[in-house]
Amino acid sequence: MNNIYGEESGKGFVKEVPLEVFAKAIESAIYKSPIRENNFIYLSDLWIITSLPEDLIREAIAKHIDDIDLPEDLEGIYDDKRNHIIWKKSQD
């Protein structure tokens, strides 16, 4: 079952948007984000590009990182506000 995001529209129903849609928006933002120190992208850059809430970005990355097409040189995604690595490329 998909998580449902959205709120009362005023027309008597809640608009439902599956998490996969947000993962695709994040994928697009990753390609627009600057690659920073150690080939990481910052969560704050993804937030600026997408305007999605940071917790939603974190959740979409955590649950759908395997479905997101990532640049070859990207080593990870870093939460610069909380000083925490959200995702790091595996060392296969």
21-76: per-residue pLDDT in tens? 999 999 999 999 999 999 999 999 999 999 999 999 999 999 999 999 999 999 99
Handedness of CA 61, 66, 71, 72 (dihedral sign): positive
Q: Of 15-19, 72-76, 83-87, which range is least confident?
A: 15-19
Q: What are phi and psi of 79, to 5 degrees?
A: -85, 95
User: Per-residue pLDDT averaged across 63-90, rounded?
Assistant: 95
d(CA 37, CA 66): 23
Choose among 31, 39, 25, 27: nearest CA to 85.
Answer: 39
User: Per-residue pLDDT averaged across 4-21, rounded?
Assistant: 67
